[in-house]
Structure 1
Amino acid sequence: MSHASYELKAEARERVGKGSSRELRRNGFIPAVIYGDKQSPIAIALSTNEVTKRIHAGGFMTTVATIDVNGEKIQVLPKDYQLDPVRDFTMHVDFLRVSGNTEVSVEVPVHFVNEEKSPGIKIGGVLNIVRHAVELLCPANDIPEFLTVDLTGAKIGDSLHISAVKLPAGVRPVISDRDFTIATIVAPAAGVAEEEPASAE
């Protein structure tokens, strides 16, 4: 399961558009939108400090949050956020409304363990990571924080596929038509192994 859920306080926004968004940011707020679940979108304003803190804490895109909009509590999952390209502060956030049975598509990072138990790496082989994250379909309230790929026994020339990863119940990869590669163990002299062709995505 991902990071612990949290709550953010928000105010509904009456005015939308560039002018009002700029004014919000000057006053320490971020414009955001809650959409989905067959309901009308709600334009809201959130505290810049609170949202920035959550983004930097990690797991922002895989953690269900509760947003209190003038007393109404709405369960959401962040779907996208925009950063100012120059000053790196948060400009806007999109939230998807979720309920217990909502299935969501999320990018989950991949962690590699037991490198010291890989004969290929022990003799100088290189772990060539093809996918640093995998897009998964998961229940909104049960998103894995990361996927674990065990390198025990991996030799030079081995490929590690999604089928080798133990996925939690109810979780499946978005790419379902093939057993795609997550990483390979390559000989040090071979340079970088070829990734999957982009056309296969």
Structure 2
Amino acid sequence: MAGEIPDLEAQERTGTGKGAARAARRADMVPGIVFGGDVDPLPINIPFNVLIKKLRDGRFKSTLFNMKVEGHDDVRVICRDVQRHVVKDLPTHVDFMRLRRTTKINLFIPVEVVGEEESPGLKAGGVLTLIRPEVELVVTAGDIPDHVTIDVSALEIGENVSISSVTLPEGAKPTIDRDFVIANLSAPSGLASQKDEDEEEVEADEVPTTEQGDGEASEE
């Protein structure tokens, strides 16, 4: 189960329509709506600066929020749309959907690495690169995992960890169908450079010379 779900505070918006929305924007608020969950839609306003910061943090549309509106019970929501000004590209309206515990949603889940101390590749000086610090999974709103664990304890230099080798939380599955790489273990740069030089020397030794061929031709 996910640990702390970030709060998102909003105010109930009185009035509907374009007039109320314009008034909200003049007050440095962004109008929005919370819908779904067999409950009437709730018009809201979110402080412009708060929304901008969360948008710039990234993953806004795939982050689960605990929405707090005075006079209403807290509810888990996920953003479903952000409308923007056609010229300024600033948010002008935002839609949120209430989530039931059984609702399936797409979320980016952090990757946790274990087994680094036992990895033979790392002991040999290899470099572990976490290609995907997060993986996007389809999960159930009532059972969101804190993280996905990858075990590198048996990883050798040149090997990698792909999503097919990871045990995912029950009910979760990747949003990408192909077997993508999450992390790889490569040789240190110095060792890799030496290997390239050795291969070049071997190739040079294997190149045949024309002196012997010319000598045989002259004898004939």
TM-score range, shorter chain: 0.5 to 0.7
**Residue type at the aligned position of 1:45:** N
**Comparing both chains, which one has the higher relative contact order based on Cα–Cα distances under 8 Å and sequence gaps of 6 or more?**
1
Q: Secondary structure at the match of 1:163?
A: helix
**In structure 1, distance between residues paired with 2:134 and 2:80:** 16
Residue of structure 2 equivalent to 1:118: 119
**How does the TM-score come out when normalised to structure 2?**
0.61
Structure 1 segment 1-201 matched on structure 2, within 5 A:
1-5=1-5, 6=7, 8-12=9-13, 14-16=16-18, 20=21, 24=24, 27=27, 29-35=29-35, 42-47=42-47, 61-68=62-69, 71=72, 74-78=75-79, 94-175=95-176, 177-189=177-189, 190=192
Residue of structure 2 equivalent to 1:195: none
Q: Secondary structure at the match of 2:117?
A: helix
**In structure 2, distance between residues paired with 1:107 and 1:180:** 15
**In structure 2, distance between residues paired with 1:15 and 1:124:** 63
For the aligned residue pairs, the C-alpha RMSD in angstroms reads 4.1
Number of residue pairs the alignment of both structures matches: 184
Moved more, 28-37 or 142-151: 28-37
**In structure 2, distance between residues paired with 1:92 and 1:118:** 50
Q: Which runs of 5+ in 2 are unaligned?
A: 84-89, 194-220
**In structure 1, distance between residues paired with 2:179 and 2:42:** 40
Distance of aligned partners of 1:44 and 1:127 in 2 relative to their CA distance in 1, 3 Å threshold:
same
How big is each residue's C-alpha offset from its partner over 1:85-138, in whole Å with a ceiling of 9 and x where there is no partner? xxxx99865422211211111111222233222221222212223322211111
**In structure 2, distance between residues paired with 1:76 and 1:148:** 26
- Cα deviation for residue 46 of structure 1 reads 2.7
Distance of aligned partners of 1:71 and 1:36 in 2 relative to their CA distance in 1, 3 Å threshold:
closer
Judge conservation of contact 2:10–2:44 (CA < 8 Å) in 1.
no
**How does the TM-score come out when normalised to structure 1?**
0.66
Judge conservation of contact 1:154–1:185 (CA < 8 Å) in 2.
yes
Q: Which has the higher helix share?
A: 2
**In structure 2, distance between residues paired with 1:94 and 1:148:** 33
- Cα deviation for residue 42 of structure 1 reads 4.8
Moved more, 91-100 or 141-150: 91-100
Larger Rg: 2
**Residue type at the aligned position of 1:108:** I
